[in-house]
Amino acid sequence: MRPSRPLAASLLASAVVGSLLLPGAGSSTAAPPAVPAAAAAAAPRAGADELPQGGRSRDRYAADITWTEHGIPHITADDFGGLGYGSGYAAAEMSACTLLDTLLTGRGERSRWLGPDAVYDDQVTLRATNLQVDTVVTDLRDRKVVEQLLADPVRGPGREARQMVQGYVAGINRWVRENEITDPACRDARYIDDDATPLDVWYGVYLANLLASTGVFMGSIADAAPPSPTDPGLPELPVRAADVDRDALLAGLGRDPERPFGSNATAVGAEATSTRSGMILGNPHFPWRGRYHFTQQHLTIPGEYDVAGASLVGSPVVNIGFNDRVAWSHTVSTAYRFTPYEYLTPVALSPTTYLTDAGPAELERREVEVVVRREDGTLETVTEDVYRTPEGYVIDAPDLLMPWGVASFWAIRDANGEHLRTIDTFLEMGKARDVEDLLRRQDRAGGMPWVNTTAADRDGNVLYADHSVVPHVTDEMAATCMTVVGRVLEQVAGLPGLDGTRAGSSCAWGADEDAARPGIFGPANLPDVVNRSWVHNANDSYWTPSYDDRLEGFDGIIGCEQCTRTMRTRMVAAYVGDRLAAGKKETPRSLAGHQHENRVMAAEVMRADGALDEVCEATGETEACAALAAWDGRSDRTSRGVHLFEAFVGNLPAPLPVVGLDPVWTVPFDPADPFGTPRGLNVDNPQVVQAMQAAIDQVRDAGVAFDARWGDLQVAGDRGAPPIGLGGGAADSVGNANALASYLPEENDDRYKPITYGSSHIQAIAFRRNGPPIARTILTYSQSEDPTSRFSADQTRLFGAEKWVRFAWTDSQIRRDRIAVTRLR
């Protein structure tokens, strides 16, 4: 039964059988679903009938969804298939366009429906044309990569994960059948249909696994071709480490310093809390739109499974969240998920012939057929090709020192391309009883793709661990296997480039007995710490999880040791460290309050001894300097002068390519004092004064007053967002823990800084010895991506006002906050 009117106040305590129409008044109708695309443009997809069609003939599911304030679904079912069913339905309700776009991408059909030349930008690491993406995805499907993993008892998913995915698909299909899409982004899309398969979702999950590895190289894989007289594949010189543009190389490897993909997480244990139990403040910095944005959900099988938190679009399980005994968050890890191999190609032989220690071998050339839509709407099949070695895809990336040249070429081996265990990993974490159990379950599942884990439990223990999927490349093996250019990659970016000649023998990835599978490090060779004080991570390496703990002796592919911490790391640590140093313990309210303190670490360091004001005065810009001197040193909405400081930091000179030489500071980084160095703004360096002048000119040229209120300049900028003023700001170099950034805003681009990235699903979870957890959450860009929904900006307004949602966890809390119920059968 489909309601013929929007959600109304009369539904506050009623049950609705079928679809809950959540958009705002006037946006929901009883019209039939969108008309499927014409049969001529929708030939059967490969693999569509190879797995059960969830919700069709062989599967039965049931779930109850209780919707609470802000459109948060609390899903109850008798089994994991039912949980997936409710999760898929709820995900489609809140993120239909992105969810269906994610399935479209996993099918390799972007070019068919959206044209081959349009650019697909996942807002994180993948930016390629639809044709490039489809070329790689179609080859994955032609080789049945996911199907083989599904059949693998070690590398493939378990029974409960499969049930969740099959139910998830059934829920998506039901929602599409029963609802009219009101989101302008896709309401007229011709690819909308209720024919999603579990395989579509699994390919979406698989592609998400590749975010920090193969996904970075989509264009370089799709366009890779043997050298020719007009394109000899010469690398961009020079190839000496000292002359390489480090920031450009990192950007090409998916680690763009200008677009850092990061997060903060702090866990505080019994020794430092007022409750004598664990607490956590987690704030992943993710895109406010697209494939990698979150929605909230609460999943319950009575007496068996109960977990709440946030899930990335396309994930039926909670990725970041809590249960009644443990809470966790994630931060992007510094470890690499892949290694490049360099293969020698004898000039006398074909450019597709390469050397191995067993003799010459021939590249595998694979032709890929992709259906593309031309501008006139006609469909055409084009043939592309990709090349592979046994280790993986060949790339052509001369700007990354890895061209396909006349003497050698490079291919990528991807550890996250060799498993399909991610859903299992998060599902198992939801069952954990304490932080050590959480880590055991994570290790046993073996599918944490590219993040650290920070956690706290009711017993008062806290955990930091980087037990993600990392290629088993020890420092000793790298030292004997790196090629000349591979060593440059390692010196500049920490990525060892290995000898492809020995890729199948002495330079093959190793194995640990305690690892979930061969080729990756086992838990004993990965960093972790459990204590009862506090731990944190803000995307620097594992080395300094607290003021007192040092994790050392691990292999370089995981991250660096005795290396500089960002200003954001120093700020996140200082919130807890300063409070404890003052003799105070963290309370549930104080830990949550750190989210909106909006201290700016770089300003605190640079203002020591009046240095920042002295630099400004050297410019002679009295009006700007008065505004900067009067600035309160925070990035609150009411602060004035934040924009001047952000512009100043953005114009500062980069460190020189000499260890320990940084023109900005008088006291360089000292490994013995990682949270206190570098420091001392170098007032005598003319480059520092020039950076201040450039910042003043930048603000003046933008037509912005020097003393403008920050909340008038920094506003929400995601699709459909009103110009809601926001606190927080630039992250790593400036030192905001409440990190916000602007990348290609879709709304309010007339404002100085419209936000599309940063603080996302924030949770402050506090356990007590008895009673339910105290759960404060906020989804900064709100639950629904549909601008016509009343849940598209409500939490954004709360975030701007520095308020929280008191998440309904217990049955009584859910009844209190209930706005409607959907029963799915």
DSSP string, 439-503: HHHHHHHT---SEEEEEEETTS-EEEE--S--B---HHHHHHHB-HHHHHHHHHHS-PPEEGGGT
Nearest to 65 by CA among 36, 90, 44: 90
Whether the CA torsion 540, 541, 544, 545 is positive or negative: it is: positive
Question: Which runs of E-coded beta strand occur in 643-738?
Answer: 665-667, 679-681, 714-716
Handedness of CA 14, 15, 17, 18 (dihedral sign): positive
CB 323 within 8 A of CB 433: no
- Compute CA 553 distance to the chain's CA centroid, rounded to the nearest angstrom: 27
- pLDDT in the model for residue 235: 57
Please state, in angstroms and rounded to a whole number, the distance separating the CA atoms of residues 611 and 604: 11
What long-range pairs does 481-484 form, CB within 8 A, spacing at least 24?
Answer: 481/506, 481/507, 483/342, 484/239
Q: Which of 423, 463, 472, 473 is nearest to 447 (CA)?
A: 423
- CA distances to 47, 645, 735 from 678, in Å: 56, 18, 13
Distance of CA 61 to the CA centre of its chain: 31
Output the pLDDT for position 31.
30
810: left (phi over 0), alpha (psi -120 to 50) or beta: beta
d(CA 309, CA 296): 6
Contact in structure between 757 and 740 (CB atoms under 8 Å): yes
Q: Look at residue 4 in the predicted model and tell me its pLDDT.
A: 28
- Residue 657, pLDDT score: 59
**How many whole angstroms from its chain centre is CA 316?**
16
Q: How many CA atoms lie within 13 A of 83 on its CB side?
A: 24
* DSSP H or E stretch at residue 411: strand 408-414
Mean pLDDT by runs of 10 across the 825 residues of the chain is 30 36 32 30 36 49 98 98 98 98 97 97 94 98 98 98 98 97 96 96 98 97 91 67 91 86 93 98 96 97 98 98 98 98 88 94 98 97 98 96 94 98 98 98 98 98 98 98 97 97 98 98 98 98 98 98 97 98 98 98 98 98 98 98 98 74 93 98 98 98 98 97 97 97 93 97 97 98 97 98 98 98 97
User: What is the spatial distance between Cα 776 and Cα 765, in angstroms, rounded to a whole number?
Assistant: 6
In contact, 435 and 463? CB cutoff 8 Å: yes
pTM: 0.93
Distance CA 87, CA 107 (A): 21
Residues that are catalytic: 263
